[in-house]
Structure 1
Amino acid sequence: MTGHDLLGGRYELRGVLGYGGMAEVRDGWDTRLNRAVAVKLLHPALRGQPDIRRRFADEARSAAALTHPNIVAVHDFGEHGGTPFIVMERLPGQSLADLIALGPMPPEHVRSMLIDVLRALEAAHAAGVLHRDIKPGNVLISAIGDSMKVADFGIAKTGGASHTMTGRVLGTMSYLTPERVAGAPASAADDLYAAGVMGYEALLGRRAFPQDNPIALARAIMDDPPPPLASLRPDVEPTLVAVIDRAMARVPHQRFGSAAEMRAALTGELIPPVAVAPLPSSPRPATRVLDEPLPPSMHHMAAPHYVAAPPPRHRLSGRTRKVLAGTAVLGAFAIAAAALAADPFSSAPTQTVNTSSTM
């Protein structure tokens, strides 16, 4: 395609904004509406792979269905000369990755960033869309610089998109939950965990898991959590630290149940309680008069809201602990090896640029 051709008879392509393992993003101009756009083009080497073409099309459909101020807008999707393309909102600002590279961010900026990302995830999850690749490079500053926008739904999953390879782990490994590294299916909780990791990194100005070797990285995610945030940034107010710590908890049930719950913890909002169906009514028994009063009840001393203590942990035998540990390590090795061998989307480095999407 020459520089004088119009993509799809409408879009003028200009300079390259960035590269990734799956696509390149070009600066563009919509000649019909006279506005700047960003155009994502599937790499020529991947055009002949039906699975990848379907994933590329799903990105366009998933993002186009999400109309939200904290999500990068998709304007158009098509094919030109055998090359699929996606036309997106053009953002002139930087990404969260660019800001983190400059050093630790102020806590109030990190809180605002997380709130914006969680609003985007609320909208996506409500529409049945999992992002599955939340990371700083996919969080972009809005055109006027007053908010953050989530981009790149390239490996997003919806209820109707089930063509991804069974057992294949997709997403940037540093932001995967321990259970995803072990091969568990993706869920909305994975996006929230990744948001927590981003908050951790934004406050420190560095990666939460600095390991470069994928096997070492997998082991760290599963067995060696990063140092407590409070010990590294004692100046950060406890609420923000507690939210990030909870989002990054290794045990899934200790994390937030939804993006709305996590955002409410940051803002202090109250989430309406879930309605519970009333129990079937039964005749009230006759009042019984006791011979002497009962001892004081602990219920009278309880606070209005409390968290029940977890059940006592059963100590495993030494042999059982060794077997479980060995299984986890082997699983991590297998996942890391599979990620390197099977996933073409992580084979090429991404160029950090100012763009409306990274790949």
Structure 2
Amino acid sequence: MPQGFTVDAMSTGELLCGRYAVRGVLGRGGMAVVRDGWDGRLGRAVAVKSLHPQLVGDAESRRRFAHEARAAAALSHPNIVAVHDSGEHAGVPFIVMERLPGTTLADLIARGPLPQDRVRAILAEVLAALATAHAAGIVHRDVKPGNILFTASGRVKVADFGIAKTVGTDHTVAGQVLGTVAYLSPDRLLGTPATPSDDVYAVGVVGYEALTGRRPFPQDTLGSLSRAIMTERPPALRGDVDPATAAVIERAMAPRADWRFADAEEMRAALTEPSPAPPRSPTLVMTSVPPRRNRRFALLGAGLLAVIVAAAALISDVSDTPTPSTPTPSTPTPDPFATTVAPSVTPSPLTPTITAITPATPSVANPPRKHGHGHARGGEG
């Protein structure tokens, strides 16, 4: 047994179930205490969570505690704290879980806002854990920074399914609201049955708090928080937050359930999948690709230039022919290209003045081909 452990387990003087030794307290919650433990059979560190002594006689608390053990044990996921064992010792129920260093997201937030890349990564792992729970019909109902732990390597672990609800069942009584007030959705504040959408809302609040270092609605009583949520909007996220990330968090925190993501998997996909590329601006299209009309003029100008070159070659061939001995007719031979281009005009494929230059006769054998609807391809001809 490692140094510092004792057999004085929960003041009984015995090992828990003859196997687990415990020592200092790691944390306390509303209904349980978590102690550092050691599994003597397997020789590994564990965390031992036991019901508060004052709640041992409460049947409802014992039922919730047992439900936590069953719910967490049924969920096998790398982002969920693993449950190794459960039992009862000297009338006190306990759960044996994997031992983590003890750092929580609440500890990190207490030091100040987190970088948004880190927040996205943390939320993605939290949502992956909750997606597994939702797929199994389990709603956590107490998602908050204090229940988000980290391994030594930095991996996220979601803990404390103590008030988790299995869809189709409920362990609450009429009018009872369970969970940490600051992370309860408006639906839960109104006493409606818990759904995966409530976990989504809590993740949105956690993301907001991680990015800003403060809760969107800092009220700490049920009545004040209810009034704030119903009448106020949370302060805007800081300006340098990625718009896509901000949009996901804001949607998760929507006051109406049908405006939020349906479950954790849908929110995780929105957070992690690349956003579709925004539509290109018409200005960008027009400046990156020459407009169709100018390209048509360019082709027309190139065709006219070819005709002029051909005409020049023809004239050159005629001038090299010997002059016949008989007088030539005084009427000059018509030049089909004489009226095509004025001598003072220089063709320019990108200048509007080219619009006045058109072939005067049908002597151009191959006029530019008329193009169809090419703008659907970005303006190409």
TM-score normalised by length of structure 2: 0.68
Query: How far, CA to CA, are the matches of 1:113 and 1:91 in structure 2?
Result: 16
Query: How far, CA to CA, are the matches of 2:258 and 2:169 in structure 1?
Result: 27
Task: State yes or no: 1:266 paired with 2:268.
Answer: no
Distance 1:250 1:161, change over 3 A: closer
Distance 1:186 1:159, change over 3 A: closer
Q: Name the structure 2 match of 1:127.
A: 136
Query: How far, CA to CA, are the matches of 2:113 and 2:271 in structure 1?
Result: 19
Query: How far, CA to CA, are the matches of 1:115 and 1:77 in structure 2?
Result: 29
Name the amino acid aligned to 1:261. Answer: E
Query: How far, CA to CA, are the matches of 1:246 and 1:20 in structure 2?
Result: 30
Query: How far, CA to CA, are the matches of 2:251 and 2:164 in structure 1?
Result: 24
- 1:164: Cα distance to partner? 2.4
Q: Name the structure 1 match of 2:110.
A: 101
Query: How far, CA to CA, are the matches of 2:249 and 2:118 in structure 1?
Result: 14
Q: Name the structure 1 match of 2:329.
A: none
Equivalent position to 2:217, from 199, 206, 209: 209
Q: Deviations over 1:273-298 (max 9, x none)?
A: xxxxxxxxxxxxxxxxxxxxxxxxxx
Asked whether the equivalents of residues 189 and 222 of structure 2 are also in contact (C-alpha less than 8 Å), the reply is no
- The structure whose RCO (Cα within 8 Å, separation 6+) is larger is 1
Distance 1:204 1:13, change over 3 A: same
Q: Secondary structure at the match of 1:28?
A: strand
Name the amino acid aligned to 1:266. Answer: L
Task: State yes or no: 1:16 paired with 2:21.
Answer: no
Distance 1:227 1:7, change over 3 A: same
Q: Secondary structure at the match of 1:226?
A: coil
TM-score normalised by length of structure 1: 0.72
Task: State yes or no: 1:234 paired with 2:246.
Answer: no
Asked whether the equivalents of residues 181 and 221 of structure 2 are also in contact (C-alpha less than 8 Å), the reply is no
- 1:21: Cα distance to partner? 2.2
Larger-gyration structure (1/2): 2
- 1:251: Cα distance to partner? 2.2
Task: State yes or no: 1:250 paired with 2:259.
Answer: no
RMSD: 1.7
- 1:167: Cα distance to partner? 3.0
Asked whether the equivalents of residues 101 and 206 of structure 1 are also in contact (C-alpha less than 8 Å), the reply is no
Q: Name the structure 2 match of 1:353.
A: none
Aligned counterparts, 1:153-232, within 5 A: 153-159=161-167, 161-229=169-237
- 1:160: Cα distance to partner? 6.7
Distance 1:160 1:257, change over 3 A: closer
Q: Secondary structure at the match of 1:144?
A: coil
Query: How far, CA to CA, are the matches of 2:106 and 2:246 in structure 1?
Result: 20
Name the amino acid aligned to 2:229. Answer: I
Query: How far, CA to CA, are the matches of 1:137 and 1:9 in structure 2?
Result: 31
Asked whether the equivalents of residues 167 and 195 of structure 2 are also in contact (C-alpha less than 8 Å), the reply is no
- 1:269: Cα distance to partner? 5.9
Q: Secondary structure at the match of 1:165?
A: coil
Name the amino acid aligned to 2:85. Answer: D
Query: How far, CA to CA, are the matches of 1:218 and 1:4 in structure 2?
Result: 47
Name the amino acid aligned to 1:96. Answer: L
Distance 1:79 1:93, change over 3 A: closer
Query: How far, CA to CA, are the matches of 1:192 and 1:163 in structure 2?
Result: 21
Distance 1:251 1:159, change over 3 A: closer
Query: How far, CA to CA, are the matches of 1:163 and 1:204 in structure 2?
Result: 34
Query: How far, CA to CA, are the matches of 1:44 and 1:189 in structure 2?
Result: 34
Q: Deviations over 1:132-151 (max 9, x none)?
A: 00000000112321x21110
- 1:37: Cα distance to partner? 0.5
Asked whether the equivalents of residues 251 and 259 of structure 2 are also in contact (C-alpha less than 8 Å), the reply is yes
- 1:222: Cα distance to partner? 2.2
Asked whether the equivalents of residues 77 and 129 of structure 2 are also in contact (C-alpha less than 8 Å), the reply is yes
Asked whether the equivalents of residues 93 and 143 of structure 1 are also in contact (C-alpha less than 8 Å), the reply is no
Task: State yes or no: 1:74 paired with 2:83.
Answer: yes
Q: Name the structure 2 match of 1:306.
A: none
Percentage of pairs with the same residue? 64
Asked whether the equivalents of residues 216 and 234 of structure 2 are also in contact (C-alpha less than 8 Å), the reply is yes
- Any runs of at least 4 consecutive aligned residues in structure 1 with deviations exceeding 4 A, and if so which? none
Question: Between Structure 1 and Structure 2, how many residues are aligned?
Answer: 267
Asked whether the equivalents of residues 165 and 171 of structure 2 are also in contact (C-alpha less than 8 Å), the reply is no
Q: Deviations over 1:287-339 (max 9, x none)?
A: xxxxxxxxxxxxxx9xxxxxxxxxxxxxxxxxxxxxxxxxxxxxxxxxxxxxx
Distance 1:269 1:3, change over 3 A: farther
Give the gaps of 5 or more residues in structure 1.
271-300, 302-359
Aligned counterparts, 1:258-297, within 5 A: 258-268=263-273
- 1:223: Cα distance to partner? 2.0
Distance 1:251 1:163, change over 3 A: closer
Equivalent position to 1:83, from 92, 98, 107: 92
Query: How far, CA to CA, are the matches of 2:156 and 2:186 in structure 1?
Result: 27
Q: Name the structure 1 match of 2:357.
A: none
Query: How far, CA to CA, are the matches of 1:59 and 1:27 in structure 2?
Result: 19
